Structure 1
Amino acid sequence: MSIEIHGRNEVERLRRAGKAAAETLAYVGRKLAPGITTAQIDAWVRSHTAQLGGKPSQLGYEGFPAAVCTSRNEVVCHGVPSPKVVLAEGDIINVDVTTMLGGFHGDTSATFMIGRVSDEARYVVEAARSCRDAGIAVVRHGARLGDIGAAIEETAKKLGCTVVRDFGGHGIGRRMHQGPHVAHTGVRGTGPRLRAGMAITVEPMVCLGRPEVRVLSDGWTVVTVDGSLSAQFEHTIVITEAGYEIMTVPPTGGAWAIQPERELELT
């Protein structure tokens, strides 16, 4: 799969799509509370995306039946919204929004904590954010793709967590998913070189337990085999000569979390 290099005008369109996706994610995040169904999240994403002039990229993608992925607790990714899934106090839930606007896509996700959560739930949420940020931090023109996965894996190991290997990030632009595949584990100094103008997502799925996963009978929902909690954070970024630019910065500039953050202690 070829890797697209975006020009200045294309990066601006990626920036607009990313901003729209981030605004929708923030809108949903502010409304989450115990008693909300994941079907309601889907309805909010559809309406807010339309208000911004965009379309939900995920709706109908390879047959996906919803406009957003909603992955709660042990669900790693691709959770299908349902009126039967009701958020409860203590849940964690990843909301994955992708917006198509002006012919380009912006992809972002965050894991939100619902009410008072356990120490373990808070820990895996903050670990996932730390892993995403560690992966992004090594991005620069001339670096290797394997540097991203290595940085994520090293951070997860220090935090006593694991990283799902079966899924990863991807190139993004005129299509939601395009080359390259961005593995969240890897070896430094390996893989294709990153070039200014490339657009990718960095979106590690981090688990408290083992990294093995399985797909449920709906053909979409991916869960941890051991039932352990999993969390994920995602940004769309463009590689620049100086490093990178995040396309999906939250509109307030703050971190994604309903609860206040605290520093993680590396072990």
Structure 2
Amino acid sequence: MELKGKVALVTGSATGMGREILLSLAKAGAHVIVNYSRSEDEARQTLEEARSLGAKALLAKANVAVESEVLAMVGQAEREFGRVDILVNNAGTTVFVPFSDLDALTDEIWYRILGVNMMGTFYCSRAAGKLMLANRFGRIVNMASVAGITGMGSSMPYSVSKAGVISLTKTFARALAPHVTVNAVAPGVVDTRWTAGKDAFKAAAAERNLFGRVATAQDVAEVAMSLITNSTFVTGQVVIVDGGLTM
């Protein structure tokens, strides 16, 4: 699929995987919306890099866990570009809590992680999905995780939230068919800011897969781009990107 002139919203795109996906879309000719909630300096850097690639780029601050902010962001994109063709639900959060430490899992932790990871995916997909249905075209890619499949990961709330993202992928695929495809990427451990300083954690993950390393943001972006550009008859699917860890 030709991306030139398409409009892409990537949540949490100031840094990490979101940034890599957004810049890949910009390189392919898409107009892009850089979303952030706290990392304004990094978001502005990503915005300028996207513009240097020739893309029309818009900066949109929004906490995806707050529906009113999501609606304002999607409205901003519609006013600027007239539509949203591509949505990548990448914004996410976690805490590192051992699964055995149940008492450490406060309500605040649960609500924050479920709010950003799961409800944020729902709010953004519903808002952007309405524009896609009106235009009879759309691509949605959700950032899931192998944690949502295996019941492992950084914490219990994170694992539960990503299982929810996988379910949202399948249910939105039904809700928005046939003109909008909805798929998910489920990475294992990725070398990003989230895992900075957690060398033992990354080394253990690298030892368990078939490549002897953890994924890079580019590894994940390549799969996301394939789902956006090459998968016209694929929907409701989850592509695992973990180097064979869970095969």
Tell me the TM-score normalized by structure 2: 0.30
**Greater RCO, 1 or 2 (C-alpha within 8 Å, sep 6+):** 1
User: TM-score normalized by structure 1?
Assistant: 0.29
Question: Which structure dedicates a bigger proportion of its chain to strand?
Answer: 1
More helix by share: 2
